[in-house]
Structure 1
Amino acid sequence: MLAGLAPGPSVAEEEEDLYFSSLPVVASVSRLPQPLSEAPGAVTVIDRDMIRASGVRNFADLLRLVPGFQVTPPNQEGAVVAYHGLSNEEYTPRVQVLIDGRSLYSPVFRSGVNWNLLPVALDDIERIEVMRGSNSVAYGSNAFLGVINIITLDASQAKGWLVSANHGNQSIRDETVRWGGRVGMADVRLTYQQLGDDGFRKMFDGGLGWFDPHDSRHAKLFDLRADVPLTERDELRVSISHAYDVSQFGRPASLSDPFRDLSQSSSSFSTEWRRALDNGEELKLRYSHVEDWASGRYREWVSYPAFNGGTTSYFSTNATGGKSESDEIELQHILSPWQTTRVVWGGSLRDARLSSQYQFSTDDWKYRTNTRLFGNLEWRPEPKWLLNFGSSAEHDSVSGEIFDPRVSVSYHLTPENTFRVVASRAHRAPSLYEALGDTRKTPVGANAPVDRTYLADPGLKPERIDTLEAGYLGEFKRVGASVDVRWFHERIPNRITIVPYPLPAGSPENRDPITGRVNANNAANYPFGRADAALNLEQVSIQGYEYQWRWQPFDATRLIYNHAYIRTFANLTDQSVIAEGIGENIDKISRQTRESAPRHSTSAMLVQRLPYDLEASVIYSKSDFMRWLRNSYTTPYERVDWRLAWPFRVGSTRAEVAYTAQIANHPEDGRRNTRVATEMHWISLRLEY
């Protein structure tokens, strides 16, 4: 009956059956192009149709459609994205994020990803491949828990002009302009975008009650891609981008958290040369240069108990921010030495440098060099069996030597039913701040600091994760459905955890001791004060399952359903090194880890074509209780987003008008229990000509 509602082919139908026609080919797992049924890991693919039907304004919201992911509502601080929890770091350092193979992790953002500076517009994304599980074998130490590979639209596919705009409540004002065409031999895609809104509608403070928070955000993006065919075998791709963001922070009438702006930017240049060789071989050479910058300098009021039982109070300048530069060159070679075997191998060299007064109490540059070799062998001993053997060897100038292996066995019971078993090991190298950080507070007008809030431990080692997983993938073309199930057991014996730590009488660099933030009652226990430090102090075990089900029962109907069940166990390996009383405060550390992922989480998406070329979509998500940070949490919630769109033509111009409502059912808890994300809605107009 629903099929009868379809009025026939429309603008929105041009690519909508791409996913359901057959399982897509992905290259984000082993670096070899492989059907989903042969990849050595579980992958969720989000294509252009899903992106448009979702109606989202922020990339991170798309990850709600991936089982096992947690995403906060975006606000002044940007979204926090986590996979299987472990979310107490702000910039997602345990999930590698790539754009066309280039890593987005940044030294100035704690070796993580700043989602407010994503250098691609949603309209320019062809598809997103999300590998659910460790993949340091292919992409290095940031691929600790997973990989998000954003594959952008080929310049040759962007023909003519695209103009789009969103206007709505909370002062939502988004505009995008894109031009695509030929310039000489090159196919060129050029995009300019600006985004803006007033953030969350309200916030609660014990002294102020409910008030309108100071958290508006304004962002701009310039993005250029040129694809140049050099010969019949050679192609050159050049990309240039600049992203800029200004976000507001602070509370009214607060000396310790005053109103202020945080400005940040990311500029990048990358080029990739690709050559097609004989016998299906391919050679690829990529170079990228990235410069990141952030500045949020402000004066704050500091007050804490002193050694003598009184109170120490002063104004201090908080020099939040810094600047970083990184250069990376990577070579990759794909070959097939035998009929039943394919191989990909390569290597990379990455050089990074960071200057941050806030992170290191000096403007001197900190340097890091990383060299890596990687490889994966795919072997098919007989038609029903497929084996993948992968490994990577890495040398990091800060963390030392790292070796990561992976073995995967896939068995095709029938062409539509595949079982998979994977065993892997991965590492995460600590960020420069975790490994070398030294944050101090100096009163305004003084020459010497009086407080140290962070001091790196020289013995810090890379985190390690050992993963055993089993998977099932079913593709049922007759009924237009597919099922992907993953069971996992992930064990981290030495997770890096930030805890209060007694300051030594002198650091390894023979710095003078600094009187730290210490309660007068504990002065005898911590005579030189205490500061936060990153230590390999926690054993973590994560167990559970997740699945995704996709179904297109009629031409006019698409349905996606995801669910994850996650249990996290954690304990500290040595409580004696923590400068904290035994009891509730210490328990908070492991409790944050144990509750950093919801026990159950669900998401679903329905896309339905209606008469008169209308298209409706609904996204539903549900989550159990979880903690984002040690002192912030999200209560169980349900969220509903919906969108109604009308695509039409005016002559040769393709157009679309849409209405989108996010959090349409009721307010959703944000990252903190004192901040609430309320309903947002906007009207969109899109023109292509």
Structure 2
Amino acid sequence: MNQDAAQKLTQDRRLRSLVLALAIGFASHGSGVSAAVADELELAELSLDDLLRIEVVGATRYAQPLADTPASVTVIGADELRNQGYRNLGEALSTVPGVFTSSDQNYTYLGVRGFNRSGDYNSRVLLVTDGARRNDALFDQALIGNESPVEIDWIKRLEFVSGPSSAVYGGNALFGIINLVMLDGGDVNGTRVSVDAGSGQSRRVGVVAGQRMEGGGDWFLGFAAYGAEGKDRYYQEYDSGLSDGWARGLDGEHYRKVYGKLRLGNWRLLGSFATREKAMPGAPYGTVFGEPGSEILDRSSLIELSHDDTLSTGWRQHFSVFSGAYLYRGDYRYVGGVANRDEAVADWSGLNYRLNGTAGEDHRWMLGTEAQWNTTLKQRNFDRDPYTEVLNTNSPSSTFGVFVQDEWRFRPQWLLNLSLRHDKHSDYAAIVSPRLALIYQPDRDLTLRAAYMHSYRPPNAYERYYADGVLQKANTDLDPEWIRSVELAADVRLGRSGRAGVSIYRNDIYDMIAEQLDANDGMWAYANLPRVRVHGVEVDAEHSWSGGYVLRGSLAWQGSRLNEGGSLKNSPALLGKVVFSMPLDLRWKLSGQWLGMTSRQSKADRVSGHGVLNVVLSSAPFAGWGEWSVGIYNLTDQRYTDPASSAFVQDSIDQDRRQIRVRWQVAL
């Protein structure tokens, strides 16, 4: 065993010991946290009955008590989202049990229950805001980093539904649902301005405004603009006679985002626009290293008009029409001054209708239908001067789905959830996705759940048709992938304001779509792989005390097995998390997170495990001076890396060391 391998093994053992010690500590104290489980109420003030009445939407697409959900749901509310200083969705999601993120300094990728494949682009997780689907139609990606169209300041509640959910959502809902309940005007009733400054010469300004109107109306508007020069980054792979390995001044990032909604009576209109530009310091796709000119642009927009009302029968109906657009533009510079442009353009529109209500005292039904027309799915690649076309393809498609759900309380202590969805993609045969969940609640303190789920994902246009003639070729013969999942879970309430839970699951993935290197021509292509099995156990706990002390934590073990042998890449065996918040005095509060994981397999090696500590010191409003917070991210200046995809020469990418952010917010 060489010295590097021995060092990694030692670090891994130390991290495992620390994670296990934390887990034992949680078990012995019966604690955990969720400063997040309430909209307007502090968890420290919630009784057990209040906790049981908390309602979530993401699991079934209608509001229901958390204890009745047919899947494991983690809820992060407004208080935690603000107090913990999360800078984007990815940072908030990384505190969810069994979830982790990785970054290549261009995008943030979400791993769920051991699965975070290279080239995935978050296409196996569905992002929803106020019921509106936010994955684009070409890459099917859920953007969660700074590139996301959503700002943390606009979110009232984040719900993460673990496990397959195609039975009610259709494609992309393979591993989870990110359901964001956005702020309404009545939650603001005024205007708030925030100004941030931090490491990497970063600066940000945000405005949140809203008002409840007479007659039942409501309006909300959120705006944010961000800029950063980034840091100089070192890459050992480029430290040669031609370069010293430093990419200097090539890490800049800028974005502008706006989100608004207007509610008049039963009608609601929402709109969203976001654009993000990012320089690429790591020279992906074979671009020249250390020179400016290689950068990417992401631009997305969505508009939706919806109507909700109650019929004379007492059933609720929802109808919406929507239209979305997405643009990706990559400008790549190659040796010899060659300037290449890569473009992806998507336009789509659709409608959905849902009807839900009770049938008798024991049944709650939901019926629904959805249709989406992807009118433009265009991909281009060309050298700019002289113009030389490499790729020019457009592959419109459409999807149509119908679904039914029955929530049946056939005994006072027993609840059965049956969901079934039929989807038809224009290019593939129809597929049926079922979900069966049985919930047993012997008393108000204990909930037991067993669930069987089936989900699918058709290959997207990028996986089927993209070919740049250099690194990647197309594969139009791809088949949809699908997953069969079984989960057993228990949740127990501890005292007035605590709970603990355990979940055991097994996922079998068939025809998994993944990048494969063709040894004949040295090019990558997406292909259907044999079965993959992922199984694991998640333990989590949370508690809050009077006086504002809040603690939650989780420990997740996950293992994978490929049909041809070996395990999944970028899949840590252990994840440990601690999230805490505590008052220092009547005005100041200290919050933070410790996030740890064991080593992961990269393309050619393993990256070491690590533990990162983030802390935030925040104040209550000062009279006339607003609120202040100081966040220190990676407090101990830990050096760690994430595995890189096939787009990079590097086997792994160094992540940010210690960073600081100062925020000032004032209500006008």
Question: Is the TM value for this pair above 0.5?
Answer: yes
- Work out the percentage of aligned pairs sharing the same amino acid: 20
Residue of structure 2 equivalent to 1:643: 616
Is structure 2 residue 455 aligned with structure 1 residue 455? no
* 1:562 corresponding residue in structure 2: 554
Change (3 A) 1:116 1:614: closer
Match of 1:571 among 563, 581, 586: 563
Q: 1:221 to 1:633 in 2, by over 3 A?
A: farther
Instruction: Summarize the alignment of residues 176-215 of structure 1 with structure 2, pairs less than 5 Å apart.
Output: 176-181=206-211, 186-205=217-236, 206-207=239-240, 208-210=244-246, 212=248, 214-215=250-251
Task: Tell me what 2:484 maps to.
Answer: 466
Amino acid at match of 2:430: E
1:272 correspondence with 2:306: yes
Tell whether the 8 Å contact from 2:542 to 2:551 is kept in structure 1 after alignment.
Answer: yes
Instruction: Verify: 1:500 aligned to 2:517, yes or no.
Output: yes
Q: C-alpha offsets along residues 73-121 of structure 1, whole Å, 9 cap, x if unaligned?
A: 5x74021112122331252011111111212211343545364442222
**TM-score, normalization by structure 2:** 0.85
Aligned pair 1:485/2:519, yes or no? no
- The AA in structure 2 aligned to 1:256 is V
Indicate conservation of the 8 Å contact 1:558/1:606, yes or no. yes
How far apart, CA to CA, are the structure 2 residues paired with 1:386 and 1:110? 34
**Cα separation, partners in 2 of 1:267 and 1:491, compared to 1, 3 Å:** same
Q: SS at the partner of 1:490?
A: strand
- When normalised by structure 1's length, the TM-score is 0.82
Q: Which residue of 1 aligns with 2:662?
A: 683
Q: Compare 332-341 and 197-206 and name the one that shifted more.
A: 197-206
Which runs of structure 2 are paired with 1:62-141 in the superposition (5 Å)? 62-72=92-102, 76-84=105-113, 85-109=115-139, 111-113=141-143, 115-141=145-171
The one-letter code of the counterpart of 1:81 is L
- 1:25-424 equivalences under 5 Å are 25-72=55-102, 76-84=105-113, 85-109=115-139, 111-113=141-143, 115-181=145-211, 186-205=217-236, 206-207=239-240, 208-210=244-246, 212=248, 214-229=250-265, 235-250=266-281, 256-257=288-289, 258-259=291-292, 260-278=294-312, 280-301=314-335, 317-352=339-374, 353-358=376-381, 361-424=390-453
In the alignment, the residues of structure 2 paired with residue 276 and residue 391 of structure 1 have an alpha-carbon distance, to the nearest angstrom, of: 24
Q: Residues 551 and 580 of structure 2 are in contact (CA less than 8 Å); yes or no, is this contact kept in structure 1?
A: yes
Structure 2 equivalent of residue 604 of structure 1: 578
Higher alpha-carbon deviation: 600-609 or 210-219: 210-219
Letter in 2 for 1:263: L
Q: Which has the larger radius of gyration?
A: 1
Q: Does 1:15 align with 2:63?
A: no
Partner AA of 2:190 in structure 1: G
The higher relative CO (CA closer than 8 Å, separation ≥ 6) is in 2
Offset at residue 279 of structure 1 (A): 5.3
Task: Give CA-to-partner distance per residue, 1:192-218, whole Å, 9 cap, x none.
Answer: 211222335532233224554611211
User: Which whole-Å CA distance do the structure 2 matches of 1:19 and 1:296 have between them?
Assistant: 49
Change (3 A) 1:657 1:315: closer
SS in 2 for 1:563: strand
Unaligned stretches of 5+ in structure 2?
1-37, 383-388, 644-651
Separation in structure 1 between the aligned mates of residue 639 and residue 357 of structure 2, nearest angstrom: 50
Q: CA deviation at 1:221?
A: 0.7
- Quick one: which amino acid aligns to residue 646 of structure 1? S
Distance 2:83 2:264 in 1: 32
Whether the 8 Å CA contact 1:70–1:597 is kept in 2: the answer is no
What SS does the corresponding residue of 1:320 show, helix, strand or coil?
Answer: strand
User: How far is 1:159 from its partner?
Assistant: 1.1
Gaps of 5+ in 1: 1-11, 230-234, 302-313, 442-451, 503-525, 573-589
Q: Is the 8 A contact 2:233 2:281 kept in 1?
A: no
For residues 543 and 14 of structure 1, do their structure 2 counterparts lie closer, same or farther at Cα, with a shift above 3 Å needed? closer
Map 1:517-666 → 2, pairs under 5 A: 526=520, 529=521, 531-572=523-564, 594-627=568-601, 630=603, 634-650=607-623, 655-666=626-637
Per-residue CA deviation, residues 321-368 of structure 1 (Å, 9 max, x unaligned), is 321111121101002112100001100001112111139954342101
Alignment correspondent of 1:307: none
Is the Cα–Cα contact under 8 Å of residues 201 and 678 in structure 1 kept in the other structure?
A: no
Name the CA shift for 1:559/1:406 in 2 (closer, same or farther; >3 Å): same
Give the conservation status (yes or no) of the 8 Å contact 2:227–2:254: yes
Question: CA separation in 1, counterparts of 2:605 and 2:340?
Answer: 23
- Contact kept in structure 1, 2:466 and 2:472, CA below 8 Å: no
Corresponding pairs, count: 602
Q: Given that residues 310 and 317 in structure 2 are in contact (C-alpha distance below 8 angstroms), is that contact kept between their aligned partners in structure 1? A: yes
CA, structure 1 residues 612+13, in 2 after alignment: closer, same or farther (shift >3 Å)?
farther
Worse-matched range after superposition: 414-423 or 19-28: 19-28
Deviation at 1:379, TM superposition (A): 0.6
